[in-house]
Structure 1
């Protein structure tokens, strides 16, 4: 009787352990499938053209094109892809966030192009907010910069709505300035948009790229970014407006001083030239 009970207890324990193992395997598989879900957010759309007033090249159609290309790249690698918009429609920011948050353990990437009132502004910027998104932002940014002829404007931390309100790792990529004639010409090429999609895809798939280019001049620190939880050569530091103003003032004084020196030197040369001329005429 005792041996029979022991045998039954052993069998029960075995069944429980086997069930636990099966449940763990199923949960692990489900988690793996969810971790391979990417929510792609094509910036703007519908009546929201994107960019600044009187901008010649619109943003909304270009972001959608890159997003669709990125979807194909990821699907070919076996990823499940969700689009916040798949046509030229306006989707409120809150709805975009709700879509992202409805997929547990997914990853969110928002595709944008930049703009500025300054025509010369150029380069690639990548934004994140949550600490858990920093390495993803670095991966995507370094791949895009490595595959682009544009300057490196760095990895920036900001509380954009779609980054701040998402509960999953979230990154926003600015793929160059459409207000810059050169970068706009790149963005209008289908081959370049395909390249952007491939590089963003590499970053999402975890391919690490070295820092291909140093930060562009003036991009080491910014008053518009939040303090970084990490230090890195391409992570843009936060600086106060007072420090920024002081630095700008100092730079202006240096330029002013240099300009005065040049004027003074020029005056001396003119005076010397005038004296020599008079001496020759005499």
Structure 2
């Protein structure tokens, strides 16, 4: 009887140790993947392509080449980590915005990551921006932006909410990352470095893995940790756009009223002149 008791006790202890070991391994795996335990599809969208070079007229570096290179590097990283990866384009071809959205919307348990580089007529403009539209896309935008700005030597231009077509029309969490200004000499030099493009891909991948670790607090810290990624504050440019449209309408109405009032004396004079001539 005593032997049976000790045998049962040893068996129970063994099962307990095995269970604790498995739980510990699962926890380590979760931490190493940034809290991402769900197998998802990542739809990677390399901006522009084909006849669409991207950027602004006269820009020396073709944005379409930079976005595709980062996208392909990101695909390799995510595939190696067990993700199912779908590319909207994997070569220098033009894909309409509607086609990109259709590809994204054909997957349910998925996220959409659109890669771009910025451009402007001001060569001094610089920095990283990350855009989202739907509220359920904010954690993904926060995580990606947190890691990319933590790893890139460029300025942090913030997370922004904006109604870009590919963000507005997708039914899954979707973000657009502007990886720096190709019209800025320093950032253009960064972008032309294969090592830097690899770094961008690494950080975007880290953000995708860490999307489930985004918490509720705001932070200005540029270095992220896998266990706790603060929700980033953002600029709502959809409201700014609406406000600008309202101001434009008010301005147009005022201009129309001024034009109408200023035209009355002229009309009166014309009628008077005609009357005089007729009389």
- Contact 1:41–1:110, Cα closer than 8 Å, also in 2: yes
Q: Cα deviation per residue 1:149-180 (whole Å; 9 max; x = unaligned)? A: 00000000001000000000000000000000
In the alignment, what sits opposite 2:273? none
In the alignment, what sits opposite 2:183? 179
Query: Cα distance, 1:236 vs. partner?
Result: 2.1
Query: CA–CA distance in 2 between the matches of 1:151 and 1:102?
Result: 35
Check if 1:90 corresponds to 2:99.
Answer: no
* Mapping 1:23-34, distance limit 5 Å: none
Check if 1:72 corresponds to 2:81.
Answer: no
Query: Cα distance, 1:234 vs. partner?
Result: 4.0
In the alignment, what sits opposite 1:145? 149
In the alignment, what sits opposite 1:212? 221
**Paired residue secondary structure (1:56):** coil
Check if 1:194 corresponds to 2:203.
Answer: no
In the alignment, what sits opposite 2:85? 81
Check if 1:155 corresponds to 2:159.
Answer: yes
- Contact 1:124–1:153, Cα closer than 8 Å, also in 2: yes
- Contact 2:142–2:232, Cα closer than 8 Å, also in 1: no
- Contact 1:70–1:198, Cα closer than 8 Å, also in 2: yes
In the alignment, what sits opposite 1:105? 109
- Contact 1:123–1:153, Cα closer than 8 Å, also in 2: yes
Query: CA–CA distance in 2 between the matches of 1:84 and 1:171?
Result: 14
- Contact 1:122–1:177, Cα closer than 8 Å, also in 2: yes
In the alignment, what sits opposite 2:55? 51
- Residues 103, 34 of structure 1: alpha-carbon distance in 2 compared, 3 angstrom cutoff: farther
**Paired residue secondary structure (1:183):** helix
Query: Cα distance, 1:145 vs. partner?
Result: 0.1
In the alignment, what sits opposite 2:235? 236
* Mapping 1:3-18, distance limit 5 Å: none
Q: Cα deviation per residue 1:67-93 (whole Å; 9 max; x = unaligned)? A: 000001101110000000000000000
Q: RCO higher in 1 or 2 (8 Å CA, sep ≥ 6)?
A: 2
TM-score w.r.t. structure 2 length? 0.66
Gaps of 5+ in 2: 1-35, 224-229, 248-279
Which shows bigger deviation, 153-162 or 204-213? 204-213
Q: Report how many aligned residue pairs link the two structures.
A: 196
Out of 150, 165, 169, which is 2:169 matched to?
165
Query: Cα distance, 1:235 vs. partner?
Result: 1.5
Query: CA–CA distance in 1 between the matches of 2:192 and 2:47?
Result: 16
Query: CA–CA distance in 2 between the matches of 1:34 and 1:175?
Result: 27
Q: Cα deviation per residue 1:30-82 (whole Å; 9 max; x = unaligned)? A: xx998511000000000000000001111001100000000011011100000
- Contact 1:178–1:184, Cα closer than 8 Å, also in 2: yes
Query: Cα distance, 1:212 vs. partner?
Result: 3.1
CA RMSD of aligned residues (A): 2.5
Give structure 1 regions of 4+ aligned residues with deviation exceeding 6 angstroms. Answer: none
Query: CA–CA distance in 1 between the matches of 2:106 and 2:37?
Result: 15
Gaps of 5+ in 1: 1-31, 215-230, 245-282
Query: CA–CA distance in 2 between the matches of 1:66 and 1:97?
Result: 20
- Contact 1:125–1:174, Cα closer than 8 Å, also in 2: yes
- Residues 90, 34 of structure 1: alpha-carbon distance in 2 compared, 3 angstrom cutoff: farther
